[in-house]
Amino acid sequence: MRSDSIKKGLERAPHRALLHACGLKREDFEKPFIAVINSYNEIVPGHIHLRELVEEVKKGIRSKGGVPFEMNTMAICDGLAMGHNGMHYSLPSREIVADSIELWVQAHSLDGMVLIPSCDKIVPGHLMAAARLNIPSIVITGGPMKPGKFQGEDSDVITVFEAVGKVTSGMMTPEELKSLEQVACPGPGSCAGMFTANTMACVTEALGMSLPGCATAHAVDNKKVALAFETGEQVMLLIEKVILPRDILTKDAFRNAIMVDLALGGSTNTALHLSAIAHELNIDLRLEVFDELSRVTPHLCNMRPGGPFTMEDLDKAGGVPAVMKRLERKLFRKALTVSNKTVGDGLKNATVANEEVIRTLSMPVHWEGGMVILRGNIAPNGSIVKRTAVNENMLVHKGPSRVFDNEESAVAAILGGHIKKGDVVVIRYEGPKGGPGMPEMLVPTSAIAGMGLSDSVALITDGRFSGGTRGPCIGHISPEAFEGGPIALIKDDDIVSIDIPARLIEVELSEDEMELRRKKWFQPTQKMSGYLGRYVKHVSSADKGGILR
């Protein structure tokens, strides 16, 4: 066992003394030592309940002869960080999460890991650590939040973000907004729609790194507690069988996960996160793979924010196993999972309980998947749009640009009524380096939607979007403005042309004019200190996953 290096031999007597201080007995030194990586805290709703799950995981480990050690990672709530300086720290935290797990586990020579994340950057951070360390590992995600109820309809945090725009435009009263605030998020769990956290939970299950049914078992559901105990038991089997993350996280597994994501119409942030996880494995996961699979994977689940269904609806319909059952003939069925079964074996008993929520391949919501990669003279290295959250009348759009060099000025213009039907809002210098940290543009996109403009106004950015964004919003534009990408050359009233079916995003300028503007462009001065100062020096572009090099 790896842990023998801290518990066996004469020279390890001091180490054993320290372990006795932690409550261990002599017989425990013959057992595997398991890291239980908790991300509990008291400010992130998706993580406030994780202590209960951790206790069940530890019981499961002990029941199979292991010794669990609980240790914590950080977690940032993207919703609370949104719209202010805090959002610059969200994506960079992913690397801190992964690095902290590496430091914990390597310093203490632990034999296996149970990873317990919930929200947006924490899930990929945990998966990156599993891929990097390659010791027996299993994930249990914290589970979705139940939807709230407001005026007889389902609600969630995106309902509240969009309500700000409704109040601004007179479509809702301030008193109604106050009432909505109190009921939209009724308890623990990751936000109730197919936003980034829940997309990553589904992707984790599709990758084979969590037990069947884990992604959609809700935070307050007894199923989640039972799954936590089973997860603790299962990590011991993985140690016994020497099943490692790199046996599971293969190229085939990534393609399975992408197809499930596309069928669900999930968050565009998965392009960043899956690429970052693949990088840990030396797998080159390019944007072309997402686009290739999007063309042959139908969109089967009309989930919020683009559709009416919540994670609760998906869970009742059969969850990720039911979605994979629909896609079975397209999937790589020999891929291994933490269940010690192949994907194909695991799907033998999977069924679909609701065909409205999980459509058939012959009657999909859309014939192509949820994510589309656009290129053109604005985005030579690619950009991303959630095609399934765009109304049909905006799939092709042409309009004058309204250019902003930061999110704050764009929000002020939107809420101030300065954006008109037909406009294309351009928000730049918000990429991995320029932001820095590639902030999410949920506040401006929600303001546009809330003011009733998402059917007539497009938004493009080198930043990224929340999984809760809907409308013709194109992000991850690469190269970014701070690196001199073409988005930096756009001026007010330039005509921007977007053709999602044709995978094109262009500004109607000649190459001579572009070159003239390029010669006049200069990189803005950026004064950064602390972690962000170090981050800017090493972060890659969005099309490479925003990883640190």
What is the edge-to-edge ordering of all strands in the sheet holding 458-461?
Answer: 371-374, 382-386, 473-478, 458-461, 424-427, 396-404, 495-499, 504-507
Helix axes 196-207 and 251-264, enclosed angle (nearest 10):
140
DSSP characters for 481-506?
A: GGGT-GGGG--TT-EEEEETTTTEEE
Cα 50 from Cα 42, distance rounded (Å): 10
- Torsion angle (degrees, nearest 10) of CA 476, 479, 480, 486: -110
Q: Summarize the chain as % helix, strand, coil (round to 5).
A: 45, 15, 40
Instruction: Specify the domain boundaries for CATH 3.40.50.2300 within the chain.
Output: 31-146+187-347
136 in Cβ contact with 113 (< 8 Å) = yes
Cα angle for residues 331, 336, 341 (degrees, 5° grid) = 105
- Listed residue (91, 137, 141) closest to 117, CA to CA: 141
208 in Cβ contact with 338 (< 8 Å) = yes
Please identify every stretch of the chain with a pLDDT value under 50, giving residue numbers as ranges.
none
- Listed residue (393, 200, 368) closest to 292, CA to CA: 368
The one-letter code for the residue type at 193 is G
- Listed residue (158, 142, 154, 153) closest to 220, CA to CA: 142
**Annotated active-site positions, please?**
466
The one-letter code for the residue type at 99 is D
Other C-beta atoms closer than 10 Å to the C-beta of 420 total: 12
3-class state of residue 4 by DSSP: helix
Cα 30 from Cα 97, distance rounded (Å): 30
DSSP state of 139: E
On the question of a cis peptide bond just before residue 479, with omega within 30 degrees of 0, the verdict is yes
DSSP characters for 457-477?
A: -EEEESSB--TT--SSEEEEE
Cα 10 from Cα 13, distance rounded (Å): 6
Strand partners, 424: 401, 458
Q: What pLDDT does residue 527 have?
A: 85
Cα 228 from Cα 63, distance rounded (Å): 13
* Phi, psi (degrees; rounded to nearest 5) at 337: -130, 170
The one-letter code for the residue type at 405 is D
The one-letter code for the residue type at 383 is S
Residue 523: both structure tokens together: 């990189």
Q: What pLDDT does residue 49 have?
A: 98
138 in Cβ contact with 238 (< 8 Å) = yes
461 in Cβ contact with 427 (< 8 Å) = yes
Residue 376: both structure tokens together: 């053109």
3-class state of residue 520 by DSSP: helix
Exposure string over 117-141, b if 16+ CB within 10 A, otherwise e: bbbbbbbbbbbbbbbbbebbbbbbb
* Phi, psi (degrees; rounded to nearest 5) at 519: -70, -25
Cα 449 from Cα 440, distance rounded (Å): 15
- Listed residue (210, 212, 188) closest to 200, CA to CA: 210
Instruction: Specify the domain boundaries for CATH 3.50.30.80 within the chain.
Output: 374-544
Residue 306: both structure tokens together: 């683009």
402 in Cβ contact with 463 (< 8 Å) = no
3-class state of residue 231 by DSSP: helix
- Listed residue (251, 223, 11, 238) closest to 115, CA to CA: 238
202 in Cβ contact with 260 (< 8 Å) = yes
Cα angle for residues 201, 204, 210 (degrees, 5° grid) = 100
Cα 426 from Cα 194, distance rounded (Å): 26
Q: What pLDDT does residue 469 have?
A: 85
Residue 61: both structure tokens together: 């480990």
- CATH number, span 31-146+187-347: 3.40.50.2300
- Residue 240, C-beta contacts closer than 8 angstroms, at least 6 positions apart: none
Residue 167: both structure tokens together: 């109040």
240 in Cβ contact with 250 (< 8 Å) = no
Exposure string over 84-113, b if 16+ CB within 10 A, otherwise e: eeebbbbbbbbbbbbbbbeebbeebbbbbb
CATH 2.30.130.10 fits 374-544, yes or no: no
358 in Cβ contact with 438 (< 8 Å) = no
